[in-house]
């Protein structure tokens, strides 16, 4: 049988189309596996930049924070340093009350002067209850006064299910928080005070000729982990707030109420590995970037540039970015005068037909109202359109 060249070409073309259709129909993104089920009372995993929740269990369940309380104590001290009301070099006189604190200590001595910087390291690295009280008394003249500041700050940050009764985390029935609220203060410490956050990666600190290691053993086990804080009481169990960076992506994990130090480390590691393995964070829009050029009527310019006020980051399963789509929705009639920052539309981001984020599109430039003749011209054009 004779095969003609054009028939052969058509056959190969058909075969190519068939294979393309077959693979496009059968090759799909791998399904996202379920998060690991941890041996903990509650846990939460979020992306630091986007705030997206990647895994959770009972994130709003009330727990006793133990030494995780010191995240707020350190945040308040860093806030006062930023305000200029104190410096790390300032001396603090240690009271007998501060020295008498039970539990973990940095071993300060009553009547002696210790710098704020030393107390911060004793607070963060050594988890010193005595350092907590010494800082509280120096900042607010008394621990109760400092606790009032802690609760006001918690409210202002949106920590709706948190209440403090002391600066160190000693047990008290009215001293409580949640995994979600702890993620708020951890995220704010990292973002607001990056220089002070570096203290959380310090593996040991020596004061009064006593060297103590950081209780966060993940600092030795995982090079990507650079903070944050452990906590333990009989009621709270073993708890850990941790943060790690891999490939420019920072995650924050909160694991609360495990049965041992070993378990809280292992479960935190599992949670972080899950997040880094299956998720990715990307910047979609940059602040000030032109997202859309729109028609503006009655203005000296006939176009206006629209963009976003802040960088927009999105965290998605790694394969989901292939389906990420932006739908631009503009106001039906954009009219001058227009001021910078005025909203004229929005960008709706979807992935796999689900709305991921909606961000307003704002004017990046000022457009003044045109003269009477241009406005008349625009009125006629709009009438016929």
What's CA 22's distance to the chain center, in Å?
Answer: 42
191 shares a domain with 331 = no
What band does 11 get if pLDDT is binned at 50, 70 and 90?
A: very low
372 shares a domain with 257 = no
In terms of residue numbers, what domain contains 55? Answer: 42-279
User: What number is the average pLDDT over the span 138-153?
Assistant: 98
pLDDT tens digits, 286-340: 999 999 999 999 999 999 999 999 999 999 999 999 999 999 999 999 999 999 9
127 is annotated as an active-site residue: yes
124 shares a domain with 79 = yes
Which helix (H) or strand (E) segment holds residue 316: the answer is strand 312-317
What band does 353 get if pLDDT is binned at 50, 70 and 90?
A: confident
Count up the domains in the chain and report the number.
Answer: 2
Cβ atoms of 311 and 285 closer than 8 Å: yes
Give the Cα-Cα-Cα angle 271, 275, 278 (nearest 5 degrees).
130
State yes or no: pLDDT of 225 exceeds 50. yes
CATH number for the domain spanning 256: value is: 3.40.710.10
Is 58 inside any structural domain? yes
CA distance 224 to 378: 59
Is 11 inside any structural domain? no
247 shares a domain with 176 = yes
The b-or-e profile of 130-151 (16+ CB within 10 A means b, else e) is: bbbbbbbbbbbeebeebbebbe
Is 7 inside any structural domain? no
Cβ atoms of 124 and 148 closer than 8 Å: no
Is 369 inside any structural domain? yes
Catalytic residue among 50, 95, 104, 127: 127
49 shares a domain with 161 = yes
- pLDDT confidence of residue 223: 96
**Which has the higher per-residue pLDDT, 141 or 380?**
141
Is 37 inside any structural domain? no
φ, ψ of residue 354 to 5 degrees: the values are -115, 135
Is 23 inside any structural domain? no
275 shares a domain with 292 = no
Is 28 inside any structural domain? no
Catalytic residue among 50, 67, 132, 347: 67
351 shares a domain with 256 = no
State yes or no: pLDDT of 12 exceeds 50. no
- The domain boundary residue, chosen from 238, 254, 279: 279
Whether this model's pTM surpasses 0.85: yes
Is 36 inside any structural domain? no
CA distance 215 to 243: 14
318 shares a domain with 237 = no
224 is annotated as an active-site residue: no
- Identify the bridge partners of residue 357 per DSSP, sorted by sequence position: 349
Catalytic residue among 42, 50, 70, 347: 70
138 shares a domain with 103 = yes
- pLDDT confidence of residue 375: 86
What band does 7 get if pLDDT is binned at 50, 70 and 90?
A: very low
H-type alpha helices, 38-178: 70-83, 96-99, 116-124, 129-140, 143-157
70 is annotated as an active-site residue: yes
Cβ atoms of 125 and 107 closer than 8 Å: no
CATH number for the domain spanning 323: value is: 2.60.410.10
pLDDT tens digits, 29-45: 567 899 999 999 999 99
Residue with tokens 């940059």: 286
């Amino acid at each position: 049988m004779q095969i003609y060249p054009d028939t052969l070409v058509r056959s190969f073309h058909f075969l190519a189309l068939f294979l393309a259709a077959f693979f496009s129909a059968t090759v799909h993104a791998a399904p996202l596996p379920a998060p690991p089920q941890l041996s903990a009372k509650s846990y939460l995993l979020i992306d630091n930049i986007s705030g997206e929740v990647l895994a959770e269990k009972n994130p709003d369940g009330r727990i006793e924070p133990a030494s995780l309380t010191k995240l707020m104590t350190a945040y308040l001290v860093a806030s006062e340093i930023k305000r200029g009301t104190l410096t790390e070099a300032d001396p603090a006189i240690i009271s007998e009350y501060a020295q008498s604190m039970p539990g973990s200590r940095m071993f300060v001595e009553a009547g002696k002067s210790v710098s704020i910087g030393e107390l911060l390291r004793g607070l963060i690295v050594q988890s010193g209850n005595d350092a907590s009280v010494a800082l509280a008394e120096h900042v607010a003249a008394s621990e109760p006064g400092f606790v009032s500041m802690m609760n006001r700050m918690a409210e202002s940050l949106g920590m709706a299910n948190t209440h403090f009764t002391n600066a160190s985390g000693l047990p008290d029935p009215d001293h409580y928080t949640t995994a979600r609220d702890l993620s708020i203060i951890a995220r704010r410490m990292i973002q607001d005070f990056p220089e002070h956050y570096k203290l959380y990666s310090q593996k040991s600190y020596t004061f009064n000729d006593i060297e103590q290691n950081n209780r966060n053993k993940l600092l030795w086990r995982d090079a990507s982990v650079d903070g944050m804080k452990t906590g333990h009481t009989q009621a709270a169990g073993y708890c850990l707030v941790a943060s790690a960076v891999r490939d420019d992506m920072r995650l924050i994990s909160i694991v609360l109420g495990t049965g041992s130090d070993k378990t809280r480390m292992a479960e935190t590691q599992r949670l972080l590995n899950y997040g880094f393995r299956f998720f990715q964070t990307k910047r979609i829009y940059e602040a000030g970037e032109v997202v859309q050029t729109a028609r503006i009527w009655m203005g000296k310019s006939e176009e206006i540039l629209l963009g976003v006020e802040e960088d927009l980051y999105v965290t998605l399963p790694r394969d989901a970015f292939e389906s990420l789509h932006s739908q631009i929705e503009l106001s039906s009639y954009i009219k001058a005068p227009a001021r910078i920052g005025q909203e004229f539309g929005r960008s709706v981001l979807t992935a796999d037909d689900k709305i991921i984020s909606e961000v307003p599109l704002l004017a990046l430039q000022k457009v003044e109202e045109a003269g009477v003749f241009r406005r008349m011209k625009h009125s006629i054009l709009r009438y016929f359109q």
